Amino acid sequence: MKQPLFLIVTLLFLCGCQGQGNNETRAISQPLWRVTNDSELGSITTTTPTRTPEGKIKRRQALGKPRGPFALTWRLEGWSETDTRLFVKVSSRLNISEWSVDIRSDQNVQQTYRFKDPEQADGLARTLQLGAVAPEDKMSITVWVWIDGRQYSISKRLLPVGVERRQSPKTCDFRGVCVRSLPGAVIFEQ
Amino acid sequence: MLVNTVAFAQEQNPVLSAKALSELTQAEVDGFAKIDIDLDGSVQLTTDGLLILRYLFLYRGNRLIENALGPGAQITDFVDIENRLASQVLLLDLDQDGSVLPFTDGIMTMRFLAGLRNLKLVADATSLTAENIDAESVASLLTDLSASTNAKNIDSGSSDNTGTNASNGSEKTIQLTALYERIVPCEDRSNCGLDYAAMQSLPIRFAEVEILDPDNNLLLQNLSTDEKGSISFDLDNQQPFKIRVYARSLYAQDNKQWTVTVKDNEGQTNPSDAAVFVLDSRILNPDEDSSAITLVARSGWSGAAYTDERSSAPFAILDSIISASLFVTAEDRSFNLRPLTVYWSADNTTSNVGTSYYLADTIFVLGDANEDTDEFDQSVIIHEWGHYYQDVLSKDDSVGGMHGSGDLLDLRVAFSEGWANALSGLVQGTNAYRDSSGPNQGSGFSLSLEDENQFSGTTKGWFSEDSVQYFVFDAFDQPATDDDALALPISAMNQAMIDSIPSLPAASSIFGFFGGLADAAPNQRLTLLSRIQGEDIAAGLASIDAFGTGEINAAQNSGLSFSNEVLPVYVTLPVSADPLTICQVALAGTENKLGVFRFLRFDIPEARSYEVTLKTTEQPEGVRSDPDFEIFSSSHAVLPKGFSGEIAQEQQTLQLEVGAYWMVVADYNNNGGDNPGRYCQSIEIAPT
């Protein structure tokens, strides 16, 4: 069942229980781990889908915000400790003259890749070799496109996958009213 | 117990003594407030309010008055109390439905005496036949009934009622202004982002406020800020207090009602017990602190990052929604909006909630700093609120899904998204749609709602959210943001959205919207027609109906070769006739794109059972087709839907009433399945 999570995380751990030869075959054809927004489709959100008896999924899609003038698809794959590949694809019915990818750890840009590809009907795609990256690392990308001389961007957090809690817990009073208290600054006027 | 109460009253009020009602002159009785039931000189929740409610629940005798008389009560006999109640409760038909009832008038009286005002006073407490649901007039009536000529004193704990409890030697009037910090967008169109140097402090408007006793968090007063974020209230000089401002607006004025609450979903997509965001002050003391207090929700930005709590975020979201609500309700029409819940959290990322979106009276808002956070992106918040408006007040047949500039969309999606884009600019008085993202929220995108030439080579038409947004924005934008002569009032938009679209036996679309707009502004019909034809919609037509009859734009300019899959916009399906053949394609994409759904219409001449049969006649080689359909009347979907997994066929027997219907047909392979392509079916509808 498709869950309302866009980021589908697939960790493909190689299994050693099926024999060494089989293991080596898999190592060639599959990554060790993969993080992707293949099923995100940009800005689609779905509620919990219902499945008909025949197995069809009846989804009601939410009304999401505009994703802007282009769509972004990405897939991050770890093939070995020193071989990490980022597949990035931008697509639009508008004319993308150039595009670039900023790879960031935290907020610092580590690397910028810039492309001037001929127009393709099904989008512009590149696979970037990133070297050593672990699933526990922090990584974000900002993808820029140039359309009619103007820049537009989409930023995505690739790693870490999990959510870090950054807020204090809620409190409930004796009436059963639960609130999350935010501090207010008091200013007196004399 | 009764004896003790009376004795206490006599001790505290030596000049008064309990009497029989008959011993008092009419002039003496008339000197008390009309709902001062026990004639103790004040109208109180725990005495008069309780007596009224018990009486309405048919309590009589000692059960009526037990523990419900004030210490200075001048009448204490239950017979006298009953007699006074018998006459006075007749004054309490607050909702003007012809009856005084406990669950309506009684509850509102109790709420009033507990200090509740606005929507909290009247919500779910007026009868179905009520002629008065206006909170202000209910409060005004109760204020009059609570006023006396010789002893005005309502123990309501509220400051926005009668002006009583004026400051005296032991009390102090506190003036509070609640503000929040809003980070505004930069003005660069192509790469927007937020401009932290241009922060504004704005009022927290129409928000619920509690004054709490800090020792035990007991509620001292319950109030609501005004349009300036201000309130005033009186407190005992010795009463320490804490101010709590809710990210919640309970608005009920001038026949406009809404309830909007911003909650913390903690990154969850199905929050079951999310907490309401509140802004809390520190503990304050009336006798030590100034009486003029400003409480500020800070952004948490410290120059280079969010290092402190982002207190202003929920209030920025709430304020954008209040702006939108005030904008669309600024006309002489009643609005009673269903409660709306907004979920925001700094933990709302693209990997859990996915994006900012609307679904079923709920809006989720991204909050992930340095990736995508939308609390200050008013365009996004108002866009999503626009979906809420269309859902609750109009009709939204959109199937949702991914969308953006340049896309060739299903006509329902194009209208819903384009209209919401335009609304976001109209509410803000700006001609740009802006969405910030990225490191320090310093990038993102900005789209013009006015400049149709911002993108070269776009395909205009009824399937384009760009075309819809340009038309809607031009129809209503005012001279400050304008490049055209049209400037229709908001009442025309409401008439088209609220009165027209839901009544049509057609999907919500730019065609139905245009018809409603032309009816609302008949003297502008030709100007509107010229403007919409500038978007390659209804080219050459003198009039536009809800079905787009006569439309000739099949997105030829896109380079995609649609043939008979998108025109006519609606295929007319004759009842009891030979089957028709219809086709769909995924040339422009799947699920919510142009060509995936085929629209049909038909008229049912006789109420009876009909069989709808859909059979695949063409499909990609080696693929199992799975045709589906859904039928709608003007007001609702007809059940059951034709959504089985049967291969190459769909058949349903339906009981249909006389009238006009529309339907959509799609093959599941184009609408969520794995094999998009060209699919054709024969379709027929016949009596069983």
Q: Classify residue A105 by burial, with Cβ atoms within 10 Å: 0-12, 13-18, 19+.
A: middle
3-state secondary structure string across B96-123: CCCCCCHHHHHHHHHHHHCCCCCHHHHC
Alpha helices for B296-442 (secondary structure H): 313-328, 378-393, 411-428
For residues A111-130, one letter each, b for 16 or more C-beta atoms within 10 angstroms of the residue's C-beta and e for the rest, the string is eeeeeeeeeeeebbeeebeb
Separation in Å, CA of A28 to nearest CA in chain B: 27
CB contact under 8 A, A155 and B443: yes
Beta bridge partners of A157: A140
The pLDDT value recorded for residue B567 is 97
Alpha helices for chain A (secondary structure H): 20-29
B387, part of any domain: no
Q: Considering only residues 344 to 383 of chain B, which have any Cβ-Cβ distance to chain A shorter than 8 Å?
A: 345-347, 349-360, 364, 368, 370-372, 374, 380, 383
Q: For residues B436 and B194, is the Cβ–Cβ distance under 8 A? A: yes
């609005």: which residue's tokens? B335
The pLDDT value recorded for residue B388 is 97
| CA–CA separation, B377 and B427 (whole Å) | 13
The pLDDT value recorded for residue B435 is 95
| CA–CA separation, B517 and B492 (whole Å) | 6
CB contact under 8 A, A151 and B404: no
3-state class of B415 per DSSP?
A: helix
Report the chain B residue with the minimal C-alpha distance to residue A60. B399
Separation in Å, CA of A34 to nearest CA in chain B: 14
Domain that holds residue B586: 560-687
B50, part of any domain: yes
Q: For residues B341 and B362, is the Cβ–Cβ distance under 8 A? A: yes
The letter for the amino acid at B119 is L
Q: Which two tokens stand for residue B182?
A: 């809003």
Based on the fold, state whether residues B278 and B260 are members of the same structural domain: yes
Based on the fold, state whether residues B288 and B370 are members of the same structural domain: yes
Express each pLDDT in A55-102 by its tens digit: 566 556 789 999 999 999 999 999 999 999 999 999 999 999 999 999
Q: For residues B325 and B316, is the Cβ–Cβ distance under 8 A? A: no
B583, part of any domain: yes
Alpha helices for B399-548 (secondary structure H): 411-428, 465-476, 490-494, 510-520, 525-533
3-state class of B341 per DSSP?
A: strand
Based on the fold, state whether residues B372 and B424 are members of the same structural domain: no
Based on the fold, state whether residues B371 and B399 are members of the same structural domain: no
3-state class of A37 per DSSP?
A: coil
B485, part of any domain: yes
The pLDDT value recorded for residue B672 is 83
Complex ipTM above 0.90? no
pLDDT band at A190 (very low <50, low <70, confident <90, very high): low
The pLDDT value recorded for residue B624 is 92
Mean pLDDT rounded to a whole number for chain A: 74
CATH number of A8-161: 2.60.40.1930
- For chain A, counts of helices (H) and of strands (E): 1, 15
The pLDDT value recorded for residue B159 is 38
Residue B235: CATH number of its domain: 2.60.40.1120
Q: For residues B428 and B323, is the Cβ–Cβ distance under 8 A? A: yes
| CA–CA separation, B37 and B28 (whole Å) | 13
Q: Is the peptide bond before B479 cis (omega within 30 degrees of 0)?
A: no
Kindly give the pairing relationship between strand B171-185 and strand B292-297. parallel
B342, part of any domain: no
For residues B445-456, one letter each, b for 16 or more C-beta atoms within 10 angstroms of the residue's C-beta and e for the rest, the string is bbbbbbebebbe
Q: Which two tokens stand for residue A43?
A: 């800005």
| CA–CA separation, B627 and B174 (whole Å) | 67
Which chain B residues have a beta carbon less than 8 Å from that of A152? Answer: 190-191, 444-445
Domain edge (last residue) among B113, B146, B179 = B146
Q: Is the peptide bond before B640 cis (omega within 30 degrees of 0)?
A: yes
Q: Considering only residues 326 to 345 of chain B, which have any Cβ-Cβ distance to chain A shorter than 8 Å?
A: 345
The pLDDT value recorded for residue B22 is 79
Based on the fold, state whether residues B402 and B363 are members of the same structural domain: no
Based on the fold, state whether residues B126 and B184 are members of the same structural domain: no
3-state class of B461 per DSSP?
A: coil
CA distances from A170 to A162, B225, B276, B278, B349 (A): 21, 24, 9, 10, 20
- Sketch the domain layout of chain A as residue ranges: 8-161
Q: Following CA atoms B369, B373, B375, B378 in sequence, which dihedral angle do they give, to the nearest 10 degrees?
A: 140
Q: For residues B286 and B168, is the Cβ–Cβ distance under 8 A? A: no
| CA–CA separation, B24 and B22 (whole Å) | 5
Within 8 A by CB and 6+ apart from B126, the residues are: B95, B97, B104, B108, B132, B133
CA distances from A106 to A153, B53, B121, B375, B645 (A): 18, 61, 49, 21, 47
Express each pLDDT in B625-663 by its tens digit: 999 999 999 878 887 788 888 889 999 999 999 999 999
The pLDDT value recorded for residue B155 is 42
Q: For residues B405 and A94, is the Cβ–Cβ distance under 8 A? A: yes
Q: Classify residue B126 by burial, with Cβ atoms within 10 Å: 0-12, 13-18, 19+.
A: buried
Apex CA B686: angle with CA B683 and CA B688, to 5°? 130
Q: What is the DSSP string of B531-590?
A: HHHTTTSSTT-S---TT-TT----SGGGT----SSS-SSEEE--BTSPPEEEEE--TT-S
CB contact under 8 A, A5 and B295: no
Check whether A43 has a pLDDT greater than 50: no
Residue B569: CATH number of its domain: 2.60.120.380
| CA–CA separation, B590 and A42 (whole Å) | 13
Other residues' Cβ atoms within 10 Å of the Cβ of residue B240: 17
Please choose, from the candidates B62, B32, B294, B35, the residue with its C-alpha nearest in 3D space to the C-alpha of residue B148.
B32
Based on the fold, state whether residues B126 and B91 are members of the same structural domain: yes
Which chain B residues have a beta carbon less than 8 Å from that of A61? Answer: 399-401, 591-592
Kindly give the pairing relationship between strand B340-344 and strand B256-264. parallel
B216, part of any domain: yes
Contacts A–B by Cβ distance under 8 A: 279
Does B306 contact A at CB distance below 8 Å?
no
Apex CA B363: angle with CA B359 and CA B365, to 5°? 130
Based on the fold, state whether residues B564 and B547 are members of the same structural domain: no
Q: Which two tokens stand for residue B81?
A: 């109390």
Based on the fold, state whether residues B140 and B185 are members of the same structural domain: no
- For chain B, counts of helices (H) and of strands (E): 15, 27
B343, part of any domain: no
Backbone angles phi, psi at B591, to 5 degrees: 65, -70
Q: Nearest CB to A65: which of B295, B357, B401?
A: B357
Measured in residues, chain A has a length of 190
**Number of domains chain B is built from:** 4
Express each pLDDT in B478-489 by its tens digit: 876 666 778 999
| CA–CA separation, B441 and B443 (whole Å) | 6
Which chain A residues have a beta carbon less than 8 Å from that of B456? Answer: 95, 148
CB contact under 8 A, A186 and B293: yes
Separation in Å, CA of A155 to nearest CA in chain B: 5
Beta bridge partners of B184: B195
pLDDT less than 50: residues of chain B:
1-16, 151-168
Q: Which two tokens stand for residue B586?
A: 């995924």
| CA–CA separation, B118 and B135 (whole Å) | 5
Strand residues in B8-157 grouped as ranges (E): none
Find the distance separating the first CA and the last CA of chain A, reported in whole Å.
62
């309506």: which residue's tokens? B104
CB contact under 8 A, A156 and B350: yes
Based on the fold, state whether residues B517 and B633 are members of the same structural domain: no
The pLDDT value recorded for residue B6 is 26
Q: Classify residue A170 by burial, with Cβ atoms within 10 Å: 0-12, 13-18, 19+.
A: middle
Based on the fold, state whether residues B103 and B232 are members of the same structural domain: no
B338, part of any domain: no
Q: Nearest CB to B280: which of A37, A58, A184?
A: A184
Q: Which two tokens stand for residue B615?
A: 């059979």
Report the chain B residue with the minimal C-alpha distance to residue A167. B346
Based on the fold, state whether residues B519 and B568 are members of the same structural domain: no
3-state class of B288 per DSSP?
A: coil
For residues B626-651, one letter each, b for 16 or more C-beta atoms within 10 angstroms of the residue's C-beta and e for the rest, the string is bbbbbbbebeeebeeebbbeeebbbe
